[in-house]
Amino acid sequence: MAAHTTLHTRRAARRYAADAGLLLVAASFVLPLAWVVLSSLDPRAGLKVRVPDGVTLDNFDAVLKPDITFTPLLNSLVLCGSATLLTVVCAALAAYPLSRFRSRLNRPFLLTILFATSLPITAIMVPVYALFVQVDLIDTMQGTIFFFTASQLPFAIWLMKNFMDGVPKELEEAAWTDGASSFQSLLRIVLPLMGPGIAVVTVFSFVAMWGNFFVPFMLLLSPDQMPASVSINDFFGNRGTVVYGQLAAFSIIYSTPVILLYVLVARKLGGGFALGGAVKG
Amino acid sequence: MWLTLVFTVLSSIVGQNTLGLALASLMQRASKPVRTLTGGIVVTAWVLPEVVAGFLLYAFFRREGTLNAILDQLHLPSQNWLFTLPILAVSFANVWRGTAFSMLVYSAALNEIPKEITEAAEVDGAGGWRRMWHITLPMIRRSIGTNLMLNTLQTLSVFGLIWVMTRGGPGNRSQTLPLFMYEQAFQKSMIGYGTAVALLLLVVGSLFSLVYMRLLRTEV
């Protein structure tokens, strides 16, 4: 009995220690986040975390104008939306044969994809820039969309294939017996059954592109085509003194969609959704 | 470019990896509300767009920023971090942003260790550190490899974060390879030289990538 109690208290003590440690880390992680939330509501925001004297929505008011917020956000949406759509369609079409048919080329193909997944995109941007200048795709939306799609595809195919492997083959065989072509069975049977998988691929691609700064920064030149990830830089420099309150307000508006998407998917599929198919170590 | 090395080792291998593992193993023991709260905060830092994260930490490290305010409260000397220790500041920024990934990988890995094994070791009288060293670490060896590899690759290609915080400066004291590449290719208009740097980055990346593939090989 005594031994049992000591073990019990020891466990409890250990839990408090763990709690304290975690809270400490959480506190240091939360400081920058607190800054952005508090400053966006503060009429005289500086660089410090502080409780605002009065809560105001002026910062949001000042930012919510067509040329500051709506145009860049719309650009982001067009850019990332079309690229995501393209990515998902291509990934589904590519993953289907990889998942369903045995072929001698499967393994080398998958290995190549895996290899490409982990290459740093940053490294190829200078050559891509030079290439885009030559083929006249520089500073065009469609060029950037194509590049986004291409850069996201390896990972998307990889994820999609892993999800597709989880759909039992018997259902499809039944459809084939009934005379469905493989395209029909992909469209009518496999894809509807892997709804969560498609959601993950979609959200993951979209979030990755939404936050990407380097690609549009290099490939787009004219200010009216810039997505939010690049136009946010205008708050620095170009407008003289930095209005930190507005910068914070814009950051919040710009970040909200991806956080919402993440929460949505995480709720449905549980914590480490992005890791599900990709890096089960 | 030894700065790239410092940045990668400091922020990816030491920072993200160790902190991620520490967080994940603490989470195993902590109570549920604390676990949810911390997880939520750390993951939020990860989900935020790169540029926004850059601004937040820029504000944090500036002379008038939060860090110095805290140091003042504690009566410790404050300084302009982005000027005196820019590489340290951007490394911390990268840790802040990237730890969540390691934490998720390790949480998943730790959950797969059967309880019986740790309990058996505990009954045999192994203390916390010995259990960690002899049982937990060997059992999640593969996850550690995978995670290190992905962290390193991701850290190698960080551009936006550093660009927003310091533009590689002051001088070139936080200029990692991607920023160096950008400067050579566009600000100095030497596309060829920039491409050469890009190639170097790509070679380093491919080496890591190959190692990573070997680790995952059995699963393909």
- Element housing A243 (H / E): none
Question: What residues of A are in contact with residue B20 (Cβ under 8 Å)?
Answer: none
Contact criterion met (CB < 8 Å) for B198 and A254: no
B201 touches chain A (CB under 8 A): yes
Question: What residues of B are in contact with residue A233 (Cβ under 8 Å)?
Answer: 51, 164
Give residues with Cβ within 8 angstroms of B158, minimum separation 6.
A122, B7, B94, B176, B178
A244 touches chain B (CB under 8 A): yes
* Domains parsed from chain B with CATH numbers: 2-219 (1.10.3720.10)
Which positions 214-233 of A are in contact with B (Cβ < 8 Å)?
Answer: 214, 217, 229-230, 232-233
Question: What residues of A are in contact with residue B92 (Cβ under 8 Å)?
Answer: none
Domain with CATH 1.10.3720.10 in chain A: 64-275
CATH of domain A64-275: 1.10.3720.10
| Most confidently modeled range among A145-149, A189-193, A250-254, B99-103 | A145-149
Q: Encoding tokens for residue B146? A: 């995978």
d(CA B38, CA B59): 22
pLDDT at residue A145 in the model: 92
CA nearest to A76, candidates B9, B51, B69: B51
pLDDT at A249 over 60: yes
Summarize pLDDT for B71-85 with one digit per residue, the tens: 877 877 777 777 777
pLDDT at residue A7 in the model: 65
pLDDT at B155 over 80: yes
pLDDT at B127 over 70: yes
Mean pLDDT of B152-163: 84
Using a pLDDT cut of 70, give the percent of chain A over it.
86
d(CA A155, CA A99): 15
